[in-house]
Structure 1
Amino acid sequence: MIDIRPFKSLGHADHGWLDARHHFSFANYYDPGRMGWGRIRVWNDDRIAAKSGFPPHPHRDMEIVTYVRTGAITHQDSLGNKGRTGAGDVQVMSAGDGVVHAEYNLEDEETTLFQIWIETDRPSVKPSWGAMPFPREARDNAFQLLASGNAEDGALTINADARILGATLRGGGAVTLAIDPARHLYLVPSAPVRVNGKEAGARDGIAITGETELRIEGDHDAELVLVDAR
């Protein structure tokens, strides 16, 4: 099953400094048919104005992945962590038994990012934060693992049975990936693509289950972000 959720159908909130699109029910956006996808609970497509951001606020028992599309985000938290994550790179925060964090765009330009929440498999553990660079040229027409629940795979680690992958699809090319039909995958492309022959637009949400392989093709360069979860 491949279900295309058009970008124009997503939840929307414009706070001035933050223009957010919600793939799943979040804050004041509620759709009983879009409460999550498997263990994926939140996927927000955020545009954050220069010199603004999210002030300190708490979380617990959630795996929070931030994929920066353009610009950069600067993180700081109650554990003493602080770091800047630039375009194409990823940061992860396991909220564990409780953490307070802030995310600021300290740049002179708008920052765009995906914030993805995955339900944790290890509630009430010690919270943690990490970031890692992932050069986009290393994933031309191939998926690269960015984060997962396996601490031995060389990517960022989260406390969930999930994988976050990124790829750069070159126009006229294709990306393929073998997948488990029992799992729940969610894909967002930056430009129009065809997923197993089905047409999807830029920044549409693509919910996938019951498939054994993905073949993603496009006529234009596209950045692909994919989450594979239970």
Structure 2
Amino acid sequence: MFVLRPSSQRGSADHGWLKSQHSFSFANYYDLAQMGFSKLRVINQDMVQPSMGFGTHSHRDMEIISYVLEGNIAHKDSQGNVRTLPAGEFQLMSAGSGITHSEYNHSNTQALTFLQIWIEPNIKGQAPGYQQKDFGQNEGLTHIISPNGAVDTLQIKQDMHLHQLILSTGQSTHLTNTLANQYVHLVSGKLDVNGVEMGPGDGLKITDEVKLVFKSVDEEAVQALVFELP
């Protein structure tokens, strides 16, 4: 079964320094029908003005993924990590028993755009953790996150997987599913998934499908995130 969530139906917020689009209920945006999907709780597309950002705040028992689309994030947390996250890299912060952190736009001239993604963990109360990696821009599906950190993936406290999908014009690839649910978030281009066409910002909830076939159907290259979820 496929349920398309068009980009135009996402919630939105404009705080001046921050403009955000919410795929699921978040902060002042509330939709009882959009409380998440399986263990995927949040996908926010955030655009942060130069030199602005999220001041020091805390999280507990949440797996938080950041993926930068444009610009750089300046990250600092209570575990002593002081890092810069450039476009194309993935960050996974395990809040565990509690962590405080700040995320700022590293530039004083250019806007920062990134995806903020929350996954509910299956293990709570453990020590916080931080991981960051550049997986490149290889065509096809690239395995980014897994429960056991296999094949140099980032390790998450949940039975789920995250893949980066990149396709040039006319190219296709497929995924044979091992978990009950999948979710596709399209960043750019136009994508056909088993006959369902997606545009930028769209989300696709998928259940009970054995195989997914991804096809690029536009001149612009496809960039997407593919979640396998319990």
TM-score range, shorter chain: over 0.9
Q: Give the structure 1 partner of residue 205 of structure 2.
A: 207
Question: Structure 1 residues 12 and 30, CA, compared in 2 at 3 Å: closer, same or farther?
Answer: same
Structure 1 counterpart SS, 2:122: coil
Maintained 8 Å contact 2:183/2:203: no
1:27-176 matches, cutoff 5 A: 27-107=27-107, 108-136=109-137, 139-140=138-139, 142-176=140-174
Deviation at 1:93, TM superposition (A): 0.4
Q: Percent identity?
A: 37
Deviations 1:32-75 (Å, cap 9, x if unpaired)? 10101001011111111111111000000000011111111111
Q: CA–CA distance in 1 between the matches of 2:201 and 2:45?
A: 8
Query: Partners in 1 of 2:198 and 2:184 — Cα distance?
Result: 13
TM-score after normalising by structure 2: 0.95
Aligned-partner Cα distance in 2 for 1:109–1:169: 27
Residues 180 and 127 from structure 1, CA distance in 2 versus in 1: closer, same or farther, beyond 3 angstroms? same
Which amino acid letter does the alignment assign opposite residue 190 of structure 1?
Answer: S
CA contact (8 A) 1:187 1:207 kept: no
The Cα offsets for residues 99-120 of structure 1, whole Å up to 9 and x where unpaired, read as: 0000111123111111110001
Change (3 A) 1:152 1:221: closer
Name the aligned partner's letter for residue 69 of structure 1: L
Structure 1 pair 181–163 and aligned structure 2 pair: CA distance change class (3 A)? closer
> Aligned equivalents of 1:83 and 1:189: distance in 2?
24
Q: Which runs of 4+ in 1 moved over 6 A?
A: none
Distance apart, 1:181 and its partner CA? 5.8
Paired residue total: 227
The two structures, once aligned, show a CA RMSD in angstroms of: 1.3
- Residue identity matched to 1:4: L
Q: Unpaired segments of 5 or more residues in structure 2?
A: none
8 Å CA contact 2:184–2:224 kept in 1: the answer is no
Give distance in 1, aligned partners of 2:142 and 2:130.
20
Stretch moving more, 94-103 or 80-89? 80-89
Q: Which moved more, 1:62-71 or 1:142-151?
A: 142-151
SS state of the match for residue 32, structure 1?
coil
Which residue of 1 is the match for residue 221 of structure 2?
A: 221
SS class of match (1:153): helix
Matched AA of 2:118: W
Match of 1:3? 3
The residue type equivalent to 1:87 in the other structure is A
Partner of 1:177: 175
Tell which deviates more after alignment, 178-187 or 212-221.
Answer: 178-187
Structure 2 distance, partners of 1:68, 1:172, is 26
After TM superposition, the score normalised by the length of structure 1 is: 0.95
Give yes or no for contact 2:179–2:229 (8 Å, CA) kept in 1: no
